Structure 1
Amino acid sequence: MTAALAPAAALDAVDWRARRRAHEHRVDTWLTPHLARRHRGEKHPVEDFLFTYYSHRPAQLRRWHPGPGVLLRDADPAEFGRDYRATAAGVTLDTARVRERRAESVEWIRTLLAATAGRPAQLGCFGMHEWAMVYRQTQQEVRHNAWPLRLTPERTAAVVDERGVRCSHFDAYRFFTAPARPLNVLTPTRETQHAHEQPGCLHANMDLYKWAYKLSPLVPSELVADAFALAREIRTLDMRASPYDLAALGYPPVRVETPEGRAEYAATQRGFAERAAVLRHRLLAAL
């Protein structure tokens, strides 16, 4: 039997139910359009990415958890899942039990977050990772081939050759085309992720959503939703700066093949890095 931490805060039923409704309403603004597109068999390269690339299902994102150290009065543990226990005063998360079961993954995530937070942000990649994913491919071969490239395949490849690739994120690098991989200044692997991840990287900052939901219910659902909201904005920049032409979907390009576009990209990237740093520290504090 594991020792359970005493709840540090108590919520009356009217309060925790209001928090739950607010979370569900917030998440529904993202879920409803996605589920409608899925029902129609439509794909959206920006809005659907977080639902298709990451493993967290819509119903899981919508489900509310208060986080550790919270006592829910007049609650039923069956509403919240197997990690909640009933006490004479109410329902609370059995934090020690969850941490014991997930000790290895929690420590892996904590170490990655701390290592990333301790490095300076590098802002010189200019989104070339997305270009490296279509490097030397035809329009038919590219991942989002329902949408045209802004430049010809030859000119797209020339931009990569001219700018170079400085990607530190393994889960972006692994989608590079075979001829693009030798152009990268690093060869990131899953084993070297802790050594390479840096807080300016768009994909590292999008992944805060992944680490938040993987830590759930050890973190409150509001934090998971905050990470999702930031990842959604980051994905927008990611695709606006990509070689795809998504203007028809309402995404004007950030033309990183030009000096002006690179300056716009770096400035927006810096803002995301600052916001991601706050979320990263919130996750570390929860651990």
Structure 2
Amino acid sequence: MTAALAPALDVADWQARRRAHEERVDAWLTPHLARRRSGVKHPVEDFLFTYYSHRPAQLRRWHPGAGVVLRDADPAEFGRDYRATTAGLTVDTDAVRARRAEPIDWIRRLLKATAGRPAQFGCFGMHEWAMVYRQTQEEVRHNAWPLRLSPADTAAVVEERGVRCSHFDAYRFFTAPARPLNVLTPSREAQHALEQPGCLHANMDIYKWAYKLCPLVPSELVADCFALAREIRALDMRASPYDLADLGYPPVQVETPEGRAEYAAAQRSFAERAAPLRARLLAAIDG
């Protein structure tokens, strides 16, 4: 049986793809780097750069993805994860998979388990409220920005609504008195059993799994995941107890029936948009 030939890109084609990726990413990086130089913090736009480990330069760096051959490419420019062939330069998939077999398998199992589980839309963003539960304005994480309600009223909303968070990396930021209020006790060990595709943070994390799979996945896919994560973060903070209206983020008032309906509808839309990204990552791993 003859193996299928990998797509081969002429130098003009792959350099055009690289430029397009860099220009797309620069629209996100430029304001972030400017704020960083001036010491200005933004609780929405900076989150993906401070919470996740992928550095701006890494996000900007272009990879074609596994199975693509780059004609007339300099091996030194692309690094150790590439190998030269008679047709051109390509990702050394065997070496990458051998060196990172365990984390790749962990990511694959998580993506597959999450994709196969029914989506839940009843949390109404209470995880962000649990992160400030029973704290003063000075104690909260983003204390440069006011809370929409008083600390007592914020706590009352949490106690009335309850907390139904399935995501460990959100749960670990809960205040100590908020943790017993959650119906679950998420842990890293239970992540594969609990993560579900309606969760905003699980869908934001698709960006993390994408960049951890580089260079097996194309940078355009990583950027697609980043773009979705930016939108999800905006909803996350609009539904939070913080008042970010002055930054251009009008609140989704999840303490009201109308706000909860708005939140659930947006959450459902994000779950639908995240599903094909998760599928593309799984296809890249399995391919």
Question: If the length of structure 2 is used for normalisation, what is the TM-score?
Answer: 0.98
> CA offsets, 1:100-130, max 9 Å, x none?
1000000000000000000110000000000
Q: Say how many residue pairs are matched.
A: 283
Q: 2:273 aligns with which of 267, 271, 275?
A: 275
User: What is the aligned partner in structure 1 of residue 191 from structure 2?
Assistant: 193
SS of equivalent to 1:64: coil
Q: Residues 1-287 of structure 1 correspond to what in structure 2 (within 5 A)? A: 8-287=6-285
Structure 2: tracts of 5 or more residues without a match: none
Contact 2:167–2:195 (CA<8 Å) still a contact in 1?
Answer: yes
Moved over 6 A (4+): none
Contact 1:46–1:236 (CA<8 Å) still a contact in 2?
Answer: yes
Q: Matched residues in 2 for 1:120 and 1:244: separation?
A: 30
Aligned residues with identical type, % of pairs: 84
Q: Matched residues in 2 for 1:166 and 1:126: separation?
A: 9
TM-fit CA distance, 1:7: 5.3
SS of equivalent to 1:227: helix
Question: If the length of structure 1 is used for normalisation, what is the TM-score?
Answer: 0.98
Contact 2:121–2:198 (CA<8 Å) still a contact in 1?
Answer: yes
Q: Matched residues in 1 for 2:33 and 2:202: separation?
A: 26
Aligned residue type for 2:25? V
Q: Matched residues in 2 for 1:269 and 1:77: separation?
A: 43
Q: Matched residues in 1 for 2:63 and 2:79: separation?
A: 9
Q: Matched residues in 1 for 2:5 and 2:72: separation?
A: 15
User: Structure 1 residues 66, 171: CA separation in 2 closer, same or farther (over 3 Å shift)?
Assistant: same
Q: Matched residues in 2 for 1:93 and 1:215: separation?
A: 12
Contact 1:28–1:62 (CA<8 Å) still a contact in 2?
Answer: yes
Q: Matched residues in 2 for 1:88 and 1:283: separation?
A: 28
SS of equivalent to 2:216: coil
Structure 1: tracts of 5 or more residues without a match: none
Aligned residue type for 1:166? R
> CA offsets, 1:211-238, max 9 Å, x none?
0000000100000000000000000000
TM-fit CA distance, 1:88: 2.2
